[in-house]
Structure 1
Amino acid sequence: MAKIIYHCYGGSHSSVTAAGIHLGILPRKRVANTAELLGVPYYDEYQPVTHGRLRFIGRDVLGNEVFVLGKRTAGPDTTIFLHNIAELFDCGEEIYPVDTTFPVNPLMVIGGFLSRGLNLVSLGRPIVIYGTKIAYPFLAEIAADVFKTVKKNPAPSRCTLSLPERRFLFYICPAHDRLSLLLAGLHLNPDIGDLELLNWITSLEFSGELGTLQYLGKADNYELYLVGAGREPEIMARTLRETRTLMKIPQLSLCIVYLQQPTSLLLKGIGKLRNFLSSKSGVLCWLEKLLLRGFVEKRRQEAYVIKTSLLEGILD
């Protein structure tokens, strides 16, 4: 059966409404009234920790599981992110992510911010409910299309990945962040010299945009991948762990590395400029190497800790 994931900014309004329509909790042929909307689990309910968490809403009549996900500013490419990860594990037909941000209107944004962001529920909730009613026909259309698709093309009951024959190590990479690449490179080749490492980093054409994947090689019996997490690396790392659980993949078969410390703003700016100009040489490359050099020794130590933790089975 499919695992359908409706996702929006906060996981509290458009995604919950679409999930409610899909499950038949909300009407499909007319706009739901206020009481019906408030009767859907998690509607206009929000806690910061829910971002990146898959929240189960129910099973549809076909047996498919329906979840909602809050992704903050990750955007519609969250669908690509989840799909690419699922494809890597031969679960592309089972994981069905659905973006519900398109129908979101200014009233939903303003009302949701007042109600959930500022906790002014009495002021914000009527506004977000009114906005939801305006968006309702579009959300109903999204839910109807999803239901029709999963009914016509039922998903297999489970993933077909051969475990534990294949093991994966994902390095979560924010957009235009070279420090994660530095760490991954040192994990892949711990004896590499500084200059060779820096040349390798600056030659990589990996932007870290959400949904991008790049295979680096194999180390410690793990396949190393760079995973682009865009502007929300912490949320995407959390989502990835949730997806791992959803797909019933053992933790030892999929380990995740995410550096929570922010990168240098100057280094990030240079990375953006290089990606924009598609520049591989010249002043920008030289400046990027100069800045990265100051991080190499610390990253060597971190790579050693990661490799040791991996061998001891305590990573992540």
Structure 2
Amino acid sequence: MATRFLGDTIGANILMLGFAWQLGLVPVSFAAMMRVIELNNVAVQMNQLAFSIGRLAAADPASLDTMWQQRHANKQVVPLDTVDALVADREARLLAYGGTAYVKRYRALVDAARHAERKLERAHEARLTRSVAMTFYRLLAVKDEYEVARLHRDPAFRSALETQFGGVAGKDFRVKFNLAPPTILKARNGVQPKTRSFGQWVWPVFGAIAKCRNLRGTMLDPFGRTIERQMERELSADYEMTMQRAFVMVNDVIAEDIIKLADLYARVRGYGHVKLMNLAAVKRSERELAARVRIEAATGAAVKEALAKTRSSGTLDSIPVVVIK
């Protein structure tokens, strides 16, 4: 309920307190409760709203449901139930992420998937195209330093914070960022780094980094030299090459395996060693699916190096890979 009405679970405790107060389980006056929230001076408006929602949930839950329905009756929601809507949404995101070059690259592979899928009896379902559209976007829009900086500098992010906590960031409340940038924090003696807390001084730093995102993947990219970033760039290229090979082989007999292959890289999630562990598992499955489709899955040199380092650390067992030269 807290997430539904307040946007997250932060106000859940106050909401439950309001619920209990309305049932007569808290022997404190309403004025005193409001005064305590004011004196606490943390997200005053949000906590007062949470308390009121809790009271209404106890006294008249039907009215609460009606309020929710009325609040969202006229809200414009862009449906992504069609492939065209999904692709348009992802292209808009990629444009903000890295510019037109990313959009063109994305569109080229999605169009290739559309063309290949026309060979199938159930082409109208567009399952292959949807899988490629979703997975390839994930591989292109990596949450690297530039993207993290851009998202934190988005005015909508700061506005949401100030609305939620009822004040001006840096004046009425302080913001801390828990980060683990691989260029600063590195694994030592096999122990993976933990996140560190950074104060609001990094906000303008985020702005400077976000403005430099055109350097992403170039020789001047200060963050692109880590094996993790190199691996991420190659993963998208590996996916392109593997899927292009699979598109040539498309037929109704192996269609399900090709769709599974298209979905597979969506499992490569997380950061650092977690991402590498997921990638290793994906590579095992990819080898089996590629064999059934009668193609060779592409694996770039940086991906091979990342997996080799993971194996040498004792985290994972050996995984056969094919190196592109």
TM-score bracket, normalised by the shorter chain, equals: under 0.3
Query: Relative to total residues, which structure has the larger strand share, 1 or 2?
Result: 1
Calculate the TM-score normalised by the size of structure 1.
0.28
- Rg bigger for which structure? 2
